[in-house]
């Protein structure tokens, strides 16, 4: 959630750090700050709100001679989003500073102990407790910061990614992680820390992925990794990232979210690249060839990825004959689930850092089940923890509201379905080949359809701009897309929305229908259309207005029909998805909301 960047090198550190924080804004935050050593003094400058507030404060400071520093954008967990709780935090003596992502679960116990020893606290955060614990341990280590961090963390329970700076060691930074993302960038005469690679991508593409329980010390010219507990050296591999820096820019679009919606044709192409045989009739997923076709599949995910998993369930059961159970990761991890030995767990996450999903993976592996990770970020925690990894190939996704990542997840889940369906003999080769041909044609269809979809979404957004609630309805594979449409609308426009299986409406939600409560329905030309049509007649009988995604030629009389290009079977999802995303986007933009950084949300959810 929080954004972290650290730098040791030869450039002016503070402007570089602020620039890095700007590239991490998509993670969501409520305050920001930087720290640096200059003139023998450890300085901390913080501000509430957006980075512009911090930059305004920095204008009156001379900060250009510092060549090492660190910065942080905070998403509040302990204490309200006010300046005293913003990072970095100093210890009580002002000689150590810390930035921290995560939660220290036993901070109150440690805080009470330190307060009894005379430490005065200036914030409500668990992070300030941690930096004071490290400072306290310095007394027992003769001023050795590395050993003090190790000693302090032996007492800490929870999740964290931290970077520490000392006034007594200018030009040096320390960092460590447990269950929160942190990577190191290796440059020439400069080294970096970041909670995500875009923080330092303009300066280096050479990256070291850090594991839980590893402690790193960097200077401008050196870096070393060791075990946090024992301080034994750890050999690490430097990985080269082939990301395009331009992929993290808006490319002429008003918002990243809009850019990423329009990138979905490319996303599908990229996901298919190298995964379809030259003859076109088979899916190639060599990363899974050694894994037998699952006899049972447990899909574990959160949020948008959970909706993708629900959609995948319909396909996997129908076309591959695999019984599937889809689990909300934050619930799954605290149950005592029955996981048969012949089962497989599929964990889905855009970032590959979602803490609840990570916990679900560890639970499954503890029961002896193989785990497949379906994620977007190479080298992420989930990709390293899983036994098998399928990358969705969506590229960097910046907007907090996920769009193209779900498209890539749907494409990957369809490929998984066809791959297992053919291996098990459940699916005929001709049927598989036909579906693959249609999937390969989808990018061109979307490229042609997206401008018209956006224009229609703009008109509908203006028509419904005064609505305060929406009911989204769908059946079969369209039901998870109704859930996703409702999620997108509420997370970026702040309009209350509920997604429902259309047949369940009469079991309660129909009581809400009135002329001021519109319904957004998915009513396409498929096997579910007659049933959905009946459900919509029930809405109209209560004077409810209906906006319906539909196909040309269908007998459907609704107030606001939205005709989509035809796509057969599960391929329709790739047209429905951008439609519901664009409706939410245009509604939020028309209402003047912060589309890319909606309130209270963060891109990578690394706390419970």
Q: Are 174 and 134 in contact (CB under 8 A)?
A: no
HSE-CB of 503 using CA atoms within 13 angstroms: 8
Q: Are 571 and 435 in contact (CB under 8 A)?
A: yes
Instruction: With residue 324 as reference, give the H or E element that holds it.
Output: strand 324-328
From residue 222, give the alpha-carbon distance in Å to each of 188, 190, 192, 269: 10, 8, 11, 40
Q: Are 382 and 349 in contact (CB under 8 A)?
A: yes
Span between the terminal Cα atoms of the chain, in Å: 11
Residues 6+ apart with CB under 8 A from 70: 4, 5, 6, 7, 17, 34, 35, 36, 88, 97, 99, 163, 165, 173, 193
The catalytic residues are 2, 603
From residue 428, give the alpha-carbon distance in Å to each of 152, 176, 294, 315, 410: 60, 51, 19, 15, 21
- Give a three-class secondary structure readout of 528-583: CHHHHHHHHHHHHHCCCCEEEEECCCCCCCCCEEEECCCCCHHHHHHHHHHHHHHH
Residues 6+ apart with CB under 8 A from 292: none
Residues 6+ apart with CB under 8 A from 216: 174, 175, 176, 184, 193, 210, 223, 224, 225, 226
Q: How far apart are the C-alpha atoms of 95 and 379, rounded to whole Å?
A: 34
Q: How far apart are the C-alpha atoms of 109 and 71, rounded to whole Å?
A: 28
Q: Which of 477, 455, 468 is nearest to 563 (CA)?
A: 455
SS3 102: strand
Which DSSP category does 408 fall into? Answer: H
Q: Which long-range contacts (CB under 8 A, 24 or more apart) does 531-534 make?
A: 531/475, 531/502, 531/503, 532/473, 532/474, 532/475, 532/502
Strands (E), 187-318: 191-194, 206-209, 214-218, 223-227, 239-240, 296-301
Q: How far apart are the C-alpha atoms of 69 and 88, rounded to whole Å?
A: 11
Q: How far apart are the C-alpha atoms of 569 and 91, rounded to whole Å?
A: 60
Q: How far apart are the C-alpha atoms of 428 and 430, rounded to whole Å?
A: 5
Q: How far apart are the C-alpha atoms of 237 and 246, rounded to whole Å?
A: 26
């Amino acid at each position: 959630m929080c954004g972290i960047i650290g730098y040791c090198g030869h450039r002016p550190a503070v402007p570089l750090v602020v620039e890095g924080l700007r590239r991490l804004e998509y993670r969501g935050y409520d305050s920001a700050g930087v720290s640096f050593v200059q003139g023998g003094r450890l300085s901390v400058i913080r501000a509430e709100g957006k980075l512009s507030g911090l930059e305004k404060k920095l204008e009156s400071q001379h900060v250009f001679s510092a060549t090492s520093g660190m910065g942080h954008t905070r998403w509040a967990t302990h204490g309200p989003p006010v300046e005293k709780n913003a990072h970095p935090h100093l210890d009580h003596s002002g000689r150590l500073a810390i930035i921290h992502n995560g939660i220290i679960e036993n901070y109150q116990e440690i805080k009470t102990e330190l307060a009894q020893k005379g430490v005065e606290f200036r914030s409500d955060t668990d992070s300030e407790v941690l930096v004071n614990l490290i400072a306290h341990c310095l007394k027992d280590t003769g001023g050795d910061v590395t050993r003090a961090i190790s000693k302090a963390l032996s007492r800490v329970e929870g999740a964290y990614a931290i970077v520490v700076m000392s006034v007594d060691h200018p030009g040096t930074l320390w960092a460590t992680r447990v269950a929160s993302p942190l990577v190191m960038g290796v440059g020439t005469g400069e080294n970096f820390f970041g909670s995500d690679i875009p923080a330092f991508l303009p300066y280096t593409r050479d990256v070291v992925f850090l594991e839980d329980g590893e402690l790193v010390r960097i200077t401008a010219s050196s870096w070393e990794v060791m075990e946090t507990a024992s301080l034994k050296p750890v050999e690490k591999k430097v990985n080269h990232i082939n990301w395009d820096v331009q992929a993290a820019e808006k490319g002429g679009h008003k918002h990243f979210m809009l850019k990423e919606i329009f990138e979905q044709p490319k996303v599908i192409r990229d996901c298919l690249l190298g995964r379809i045989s030259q003859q076109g009739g088979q899916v190639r997923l060599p990363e899974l060839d050694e894994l037998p076709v699952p006899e049972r599949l447990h899909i574990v995910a959160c949020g948008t990825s959970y909706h993708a998993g629900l959609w995948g369930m319909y396909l996997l059961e129908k076309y591959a004959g695999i019984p599937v159970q889809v689990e909300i990761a934050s619930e799954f991890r605290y149950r005592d689930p029955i996981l048969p030995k012949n089962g497989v767990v599929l964990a889905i996450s855009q970032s590959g850092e979602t803490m609840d999903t990570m916990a679900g993976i560890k639970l499954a592996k503890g029961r002896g089940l193989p785990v497949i990770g379906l994620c977007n970020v190479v080298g992420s925690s989930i990709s390293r923890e899983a036994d098998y990894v399928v990358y969705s190939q969506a590229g960097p996704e910046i907007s907090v509201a996920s769009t193209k990542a779900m498209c890539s997840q749907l494409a990957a889940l369809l490929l998984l379905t066809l791959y297992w369906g053919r291996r098990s003999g459940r699916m005929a080769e001709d049927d598989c080949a036909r579906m693959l041909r249609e999937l390969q044609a989808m990018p061109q269809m979307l490229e042609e359809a997206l401008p018209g979809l956006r224009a229609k979404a703009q008109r509908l957004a203006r028509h419904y701009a005064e609505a305060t609630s929406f009911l989204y309805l769908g059946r079969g594979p369209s039901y998870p897309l109704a859930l996703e449409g409702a999620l997108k609308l509420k997370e970026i426009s702040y309009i209350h929305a509920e997604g429902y299986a259309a047949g369940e409406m009469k079991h309660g939600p129909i009581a809400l229908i009135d002329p001021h409560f519109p319904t957004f329905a998915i009513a396409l030309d498929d096997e579910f259309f007659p049933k959905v049509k009946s459900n919509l007649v029930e809405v109209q009988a209560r004077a409810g207005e209906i906006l319906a995604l539909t196909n040309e030629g269908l007998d459907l009389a609704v107030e606001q029909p939205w005709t989509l290009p035809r796509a057969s079977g599960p391929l329709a999802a790739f047209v429905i998805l951008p439609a519901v995303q664009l409706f939410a986007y245009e509604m939020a933009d028309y209402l003047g909301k912060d589309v890319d950084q909606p309130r209270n949300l963060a891109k990578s959810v690394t706390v419970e």
